[in-house]
Structure 1
Amino acid sequence: NKFPHHTFQWEGIDGTRIFTHFPPVDTYNCSMKGSEIAHAASNFKDKGVARHSLAPTGWGDGGGGTTREMVAKAARLRNLEGSATVVWETPEEFFEKAQAEYPNAPVWVGELYLELHRATLTSQAKTKQGNRRSEHLLREAELWAATAAVRTGFAYPYEDLDRIWKTVLLHQFHDILPGSSIAWVHREARRTYERVAEELNAIIDAAQRALAGEGSAPLVFNSAPHTRDGVPAGGARTPAVLGETALEPRPDGGYVLDNGMLRVEIDARGLVVSAYDLAADRETVAPGQAANLLQLHPDFPNMWDAWDVDEFYRNTVTDLVDADEVAPGDDGVSVRVVRSFGASRVTQVLSLAPGEQRLGIDTEVDWHETEKFLKLAFPLDVHAERYASETQFGHFHRPTHTNTSWEAAKFEACNHRFVHVEEPGWGVAVVNDSTYGHDVTRTVRDGDSGTTTTVRVSLLRAPRFPDPETDQGVHRFRHALVPGAAIGDAVREGWRINLPERRVSGSQEVAPLVTVEQDAVVVTAVKLADDGSGDVVVRFHESRGGRSRVTLTAGFPFEDVTVTDLLERPLADAVGPERDGGRLRMPLRPFELVTLRLKRG
């Protein structure tokens, strides 16, 4: 353990601190042997100021828990000369004592990076996708069911949503979401995610039809927390027409996509050799490089096939540059690229939507490799010493360099919806709908001494253990390259790609149940309170890491507003928002997360 403390305060991105303890016994399967307890005592890095540590006891990983022998060993260590004293107590009792004796524990700010098990960010792609899509479907179901309940008397599905949330959270347990379970587990998980999607889509469809009414007018429902094509966040209306995209052949082969905001050149190999930001007069792709580059590595970790990827995998790489087909897509304004390698096949569709500064990349992989690692690379002409990676309710930064062993160890890292790199005044985002693992590296070019920052997203692996058929078959991924993106654009595009629009025929537009005026403030939940009271719960946060003052407007009458915790319990010391009729105003600190409960009138 390189970390300098076993007991400390961990500070999150919003400044919140949590009293934290890493058990110095260095195992979660302590059997109460004398040697283990002696190691815990000698290894405890804070023993000069703290006297208590935890020893998680029992056979872990489904092995049966604590045994009689372990209980008996602990009993002999209650008062044994020369040994640390062992007592049974609950975690709550331990933390009360530990915090009381060490109230000013040192503070660690930011990421607690585990230098192990990096492959769990990628193994079992369909399990990862099932989790991500279930999370967003649940958000949609809550939003539209709550809106329909307030507006039309729609029966809010309290019990169904509670059950589905618990099912999705259960599947985040190891080794399910990490992709390191046996094959049966992932087959079962895929079936469960399919049932969850079917149920949630049915709830969403019923709520949206109740809101839209009978009619034939084309309506677009926008579940994302930002206005999209003229459709407000949390509302529905006919979308605006935003222009056109032109597709032209390139003289040297390939095609050019141009929508007046971006001009994207795709060469005869199906690679993006230019993504030009027309407004900024700025090239995105590094000189002499190509983006949308699929790269294949051999993948033979030293231990734990599904769990680990080791740094030496980078020593050998095959660039997949040979294309079977590069041709216009079925819609006439996109480019279709087909590649074959090994026993596998990749089909990509590159598209540039009218009025959008975003190159969409839809990738279908029919994967039949073993012990291989597939990456998608974007070498960017950006000088960045750090990059932003999305996490829950915000983002944090990692260095692009490897000055120290701790930085070098982060050769594979986790993001949620986006990765963002930036020079002052201009940046680039890579957003995704279902991948988590990635790497970011930097090099200095020989020709112009410029810096190339390369973002690579991890698509697929093929370990043999514990599931020898890991990820064999067809997979579909959606990514987008967003040139000229500030951090707010990365946030918006990350939500957008995960919450695609839904089209419903109806007779009336749908106004949002709640509206937030500030783009920096993201509403992550609109729902009815779990207690069945009919109160509306709204959760939002500051998303850019700066100060903001939020103005929230409720589209329904309410009597009172209460600040609550994440479990919808009132926070006694919280300062509530100022009220002006149906408007609520309050300041927000960087990344501050707020939950409001509005009692309907």
Structure 2
Amino acid sequence: MLDERIAAFLAERLRPALYPLRIPLDVSAWHLPGEPVPAQVALRADHEPFAVGDTWGRPGSTSWFTVRATVPERWAGRRVEAVFDLGGDTVTRPQALVRDEYGAPLRGLHAPHPDPVLVAERARGGEAVHLLVEAGVTDAPCDPPPLRLRQADLAVRDDNVWRLLHDIRTLHRIHRSLPRDAPRAIRIRDALERALDAVDPRAVARTARGGHAVLAPELGGADGALPAAYPLVAESPPVPLGSLPLHEAVRAVARDLSTLADLAEEYPGLVCVAPDVQHYAWMKQHEPQLFERLRKMIADGTWVPVGAMWAQSATELAGGEALVRQFTHGRRFLRAEFGTDSDGVWLTDVRGVSPALPQIARAAGAHWMLVSRTDRPARHQSFRWEGIDGSAVLVHVPGRATDPHGDEGSPVSPLRTLHHPDRAALEEAARLADPHGPPRHGPRPLTRAWHPTHPAAPGPDAEPAVRGPLDLAPHTGEFTSQARTKRGNRTCEALLHEAELWSAGAAVRNGTPYPYDALERIWISVLTQQSHGILAGAAAARARQDAEDVHHDLGRRLTRLIHRALGARGDAVVHNPAPFARREVVLLEREAVLLERADGPGTDQDGVGPAGLPAVAQVLADGRCAVLAEAPAHGTGGVGIALDGTAPVTARRTQDGRHILDNGRLRVTVDGDGLVRSLVDLATGRDAIAPGWAGNLLELHRDEPVTDPARTLALGSERTRRDLTRAEGIELVAAGPLVATVRISRGNGRSVFTQDLTLTAGSPSLVVDTEVDWRERDTALKQTWPLDGPAGHSRCGIPFGHTSHPPADGAERPLQRWIHVGAAHWGVGFASDTPHGHDIVRRDRDDGGTSTVVRHTLLRAPRGPDPYADRGAHRFRHTVRPGATAGDAVEDGYLLALPLRPGTAAPAADPLVSTDHPDAVVESVKLADDRSGDVVVRLYEARGNAVRAALTVDFAVAAVCTTDLSEENAEPAPHAGSRIPLNLRPFEIRTLRITRAQPDEEPPGA
């Protein structure tokens, strides 16, 4: 009975009495179809009269409303607000940004029940009100009806009614959270009954103060001011860039940040944060008045920049150097624009965090991490999270600010966050945060949001509570959804690596100006597209298409930068951007020059061309020419070299329709349906494929998640699995001596699958190229490889290292570049050219043996948010290497991600940088961000072992320093001329800053 009485009292008595005085606003409108325009354009536009009840709003359009009024003289001393109801419902949700008469943002109007706009806390009477409202519809069905403006009034708020309204709501919520017979529940129930009786329905405004006095003892005398006992933080809601196109995301950020700024000014003591640095950059570019308002609040301590990452990245899918740049670009912006920095990481609404993040965050200067989720339980937790190199960060998962106390009001979290706050949430939070403490007026600083010295934080010597990835919510679908976006991101990361490497070499050797500005702009664009709303595969159609267009444009720009440093594409040499030396077959587009160097197409004898270089060339059916090439790590080498002891690859077809490929290192048997029946490592004679089973099997699984389809992988049972075991066509398209390829075609009535199984001369790996014309719904495509024997371990590559997992546990995990599965002395390595999910399962065989099945999840077809995201053509490249070590798998991952680049320049004498140990892997080479001309080399230990190595540079060295990831906090490092000794811990990331000696000075240690 009490619940029904309170609901009726609030709806029929208090809310109607909240605004006792009101006058209509004078409204005029300008309706703009298509993309939005700046406020200055809207201010100069011709607005037509518009009345309450008129219709407005179509998806993709903007309506600009100009509202005017004059505050009546009799309202002097009262709180005056502009009250709007733009229409809409829970399906069609209008959003609006209220601006002042000059176009500066004031606050957002968030559907479905926007807060009124404060006109005057204590009106003088006679003030002119002139507001500009920018309104649009972002969430709507395909063809929604137009909206109707329901209300646009200037009104006086009765503060006594307002306080009583939130007193009752807060105590009622606490009462419902307690056991009915709890002592405090009984007290609250009695107080609520007496408060309702104290208010006269015929004179609510006059008697509301009496109801407040009845409830005050249970609220500790709180009057709406935020208490000082614990920090209360209003966090800008995560703007899902993937759910909105870029221009709408910018508008959403402006609405959210201006709303927080307005609330912070109205509620002294509230602290506001915005974890994404890119949001500040957007405001600086598009809303400079709001940006200056935020800058002042930061200086006053009301707003705290946190997070330090440029965008809240999908850390499990972004590359290692990209994660580094998230921190360097984010911190650089905070220091340059606000004169401040952040020593922590703040992540909002992410579902999983890569185990590589602790060591990257620590190397970037962060010591703590806060992860807030709107769907997490309200109770907080704090723990130490240890990265793969042993470094740890303190992680805090805060409770929600509206978490009620227990019976006697035991405190909850030392930090509570509010997502998408409004006045009602702040009123309730103020009453719930510390009901027995004194109210606190005036602003207060936020002491590092959550500081490691807080008593609730685990000590630095405490045992780590978490190792490995942070799994905060189901998200295994993220690893595969929207494969084109993931491929575009991986391509841009690889091209950025090349552009920096070759541009640094051209600057050091030839004095070519280094493209600092161009690379910085491209990096920022890539980092923005790595937002977890996009890279995780949950983007809406427009945002997904925008991301693909951005990746395509950045690819062209990066290719131009590479050609600027190396010269145009050619066929005289190959440039190797990978950190490992390589000798492999490459395919060149132009065959004429190569045919001059060889005896003829398809020859299996060494020939000598006119340049005097021995060469073997094989012309393929598509007109390309295959030659053998060799290049050092990060260096340039020759093409058309002699086999020189490397056995040629052969291919033959048996009478039973099988194809056997053999290059002296690997023998592959492909049956008449294109399945790999045998994959033998000839050095040991061991077959990787389980007896009686077949590799390269494509499986179609039902994938029908109930909620959040893009992020949730929900495979059906084995009964619903469909195996594509029948080939519609199989042919031998290349038979050696350099390339042997078997092409298989399949179909299932909707989608078409074409695969090339390729073995090249001297290669220890089978290359599998899979082309798919994907036309499925609610289906996942897996490529499976059954390995002989139970796996003793599985390792999965992550940025700057790898993680180990229980063998064959069946868990879906992201595959960044490589995985290694095997026992103590023998294993199989898999590498991929694009991220996707994978799992490893164990299955018993009829012969009593056990098979370990590696399954790559290549494609999905969820129904939302973009059901057409992955329709169309896709291409995947994998390598399978039997007899591989974990180090071999690391190498294969880099070689596949960073292919040889044919060029016309003459080979350089030596690579710009090189290491003498395979476990010391150079991740990036660039010039210093401060434009000093220093060379920055970032490397790491890749195998999980302590190593002693040396880095050699091909230029005169004046000084060497070890720095953090931001290339700061330099500490001198020893060097002997151009040789720099290194002692690396397992998985340690090392950033070296190398100052070049001037031509006329003797380098120290020479």
Report the 3-state secondary structure (helix = DSSP H, G, I; strand = E; otherwise coil) of the residue aligned with 2:454.
Answer: helix
CA distance in 1, matches of 2:898, 2:887: 17
Q: Which segment drifts farther, 259-268 or 562-571?
A: 562-571
> Against the structure 1 CA distance between its residues 102 and 354, is the aligned structure 2 distance closer, same or farther, given a 3 Å change threshold?
same
Matched letter for residue 788 of structure 2: D
Q: Which has the higher helix share?
A: 2
Structure 1 residues 140-539: aligned runs within 5 Å = 140-209=498-567, 218-229=572-583, 230-239=630-639, 240=641, 241=643, 242-310=646-714, 312-329=716-733, 333-402=740-809, 411-447=811-847, 449-509=848-908, 511-539=910-938
* Matched residue, 1:584: 980
User: Per the alignment, do residues 251 and 141 of structure 1 end up closer, same or farther by CA in structure 2, a change over 3 Å counting?
Assistant: same
CA contact (8 A) 2:705 2:714 kept: yes
Partner of 2:385: 10
Q: State the alpha-carbon separation in 2 of the partners of residues 136 and 513 from structure 1.
A: 18
Residue number among 942, 947, 963 corresponding to 1:564 in the alignment: 963
Q: Is the 1:328–1:334 contact (alpha carbons within 8 Å) kept by the matching residues of 2?
A: yes
SS of the aligned residue for 1:94 comes to coil
More deviation, 414-423/372-381: 414-423
Pairwise CA RMSD of aligned residues?
Answer: 2.6
1:510 CA drift (Å): 5.1
SS of 1:424's equivalent? coil
- Distance change >3 Å, CA 111–CA 217, structure 1 → 2: closer
**Once the 2 structures are TM-superposed, how far is the Cα of residue 540 of structure 1 from its aligned partner?**
0.5
Could you say what secondary structure the match of 1:33 adopts?
coil
Structure 1 stretch displaced more, 120-129 or 5-14: 5-14
Task: Tell me the distance in 1 between the aligned counterparts of 2:663 and 2:734.
Answer: 18
Cα distance between partner residues in 2 of 1:121 and 1:388: 17
- In 1, the alpha carbon distance for the partners of 2:669 and 2:439 equals 68
- Please tell me the residue identity of whatever aligns with 2:542: W
* Alignment check: 8 A CA contact 1:413 1:438 kept: yes
Q: What is the match of residue 547 of structure 1?
A: 946
Aligned match of 2:416: 55
> 1:442 is paired with a residue of what secondary structure?
strand
- The whole-number CA distance in structure 2 between the counterparts of 1:360 and 1:134 is 23
Structure 1 548/110 Cα, relative in aligned 2: closer, same or farther at 3 Å? same
Secondary structure of 2:723's counterpart equals: strand
**CA-CA distance at 1:339 after TM superposition:** 0.4
Contact 1:326–1:338 (CA under 8 A) maintained in structure 2: yes
Q: How far off is 1:89 after superposition?
A: 6.0
The runs of 5 or more residues in structure 2 that have no matched partner are 1-375, 584-629, 998-1006
Q: CA deviation at 1:228?
A: 0.6
Point out where structure 1 has 5 or more consecutive residues left out of the alignment: 60-65, 403-409
Which of the residues 102, 105, 126 maps onto 2:484? 126
Q: For residues 100-148 of structure 1, what are the alpha-carbon distances to aligned partners after superposition, in whole Å with 9 as ceiling and x for unaligned?
A: 8542444122232345021011110001111111111111111011011
In 1, distance between residues paired with 2:956 and 2:918? 24
Which residue identity is paired with 1:490? A
TM-score by length of 1: 0.88
Distance 1:514 1:255 in 2: 43
CA contact (8 A) 1:382 1:421 kept: no
Q: Structure 1 residue 22 and structure 2 residue 397: aligned?
A: yes
Q: What is the deviation of 1:571?
A: 4.8
Pick closer, same or farther for the CA change 1:91–1:305 going to 2, 3 Å: farther
**Higher Cα Rg, which structure:** 2
State the 1:79 CA deviation: 3.5
Deviation per CA, 1:502-525: give whole Å up to 9, x if none. Answer: 111233435211110101111000
| 1:580 Cα deviation after fit | 1.6
SS at match of 2:631: coil
Superposed displacement of residue 347, structure 1: 0.7
Deviates more, 1:473-482 or 1:509-518: 509-518
How far apart, CA to CA, are the structure 1 residues paired with 2:567 and 2:721? 50
Change in 2 beyond 3 A, CA 1:159/1:91? farther
CA contact (8 A) 2:701 2:715 kept: no
- Structure 2 distance, partners of 1:243, 1:413, is 37
Task: Report how far residue 474 of structure 1 moved.
Answer: 0.4
Distance 1:84 1:350 in 2: 72
SS for the counterpart of 1:491 is helix
Within the alignment, does 1:136 sit opposite 2:494 as a pair?
yes
1:123 is paired with a residue whose SS is coil
* Pair 1:335–1:158, CA change in 2 (3 A): same
For this pair of structures, how many residues does the alignment match?
564
CA displacement 1:8-38 (0-9 Å, x = unmatched): 1111111111111122x3xxxx5x4354x76
Q: Closer, same or farther in 2 for the Cα pair 1:126/1:38, shift >3 Å? A: farther
What's the offset of the Cα at 1:78? Answer: 4.9
Question: Which of the numbers 442, 447, 451 marks the counterpart of 1:95?
Answer: 451
Secondary structure of the residue aligned to 1:524 is strand
Corresponding residue for 2:155? Answer: none
Instruction: Report the counterpart of residue 369 of structure 2 in structure 1.
Output: none
Amino acid at match of 1:412: E
Cα displacement (A) at 1:381:
1.0
Structure possessing the higher relative contact order (Cα contacts under 8 Å, 6 or more residues apart):
1
**Counterpart among 426, 451, 460 of residue 71 in structure 1:** 426
CA–CA distance in structure 2, aligned partners of residues 361 and 147 of structure 1: 34
Q: Deviations over 1:351-388 (max 9, x none)?
A: 01110100000111000011100000011114313300
Distance 1:247 1:22, change over 3 A: same
Name the CA shift for 1:157/1:366 in 2 (closer, same or farther; >3 Å): same
Alpha-carbon distance between aligned partners in 2 of 1:548 and 1:310, rounded to the nearest angstrom? 43
Are 1:182 and 1:467, in contact at CA under 8 Å, matched by a contact in 2? yes
TM (normalized to structure 2)?
Answer: 0.54
SS at match of 1:380: strand
Change (3 A) 1:38 1:91: farther
Matched residue SS, 2:966: coil
Q: How far 1:304 sits from its partner (Å)?
A: 1.3
Partners of 2:380 and 2:647 in 1: CA distance: 57
The 8 Å contact of residues 948 and 984 in structure 2, kept in 1 or not, is answered as yes
Cα offsets for 1:320-362 (capped at 9, x unmatched): 0111111012576201011011311011111011101000001
Question: Is the 2:384–2:395 contact (alpha carbons within 8 Å) kept by the matching residues of 1?
Answer: yes
Cα distance in structure 1, aligned partners of 2:926 and 2:455: 36
Change beyond 3 A, Cα 1:590–1:293? same
Is the 1:326–1:336 contact (alpha carbons within 8 Å) kept by the matching residues of 2? yes
Is the contact between residue 77 and residue 84 of structure 1 (CA under 8 Å) also seen in structure 2? no
Structure 2 residue 402 is the aligned partner of structure 1 residue 33: yes
Corresponding residue SS for 1:580: coil
Taking every aligned residue pair, what percent have the same amino acid on both sides? Answer: 40
Letter paired with 1:76: R
Q: CA deviation at 1:435?
A: 2.8
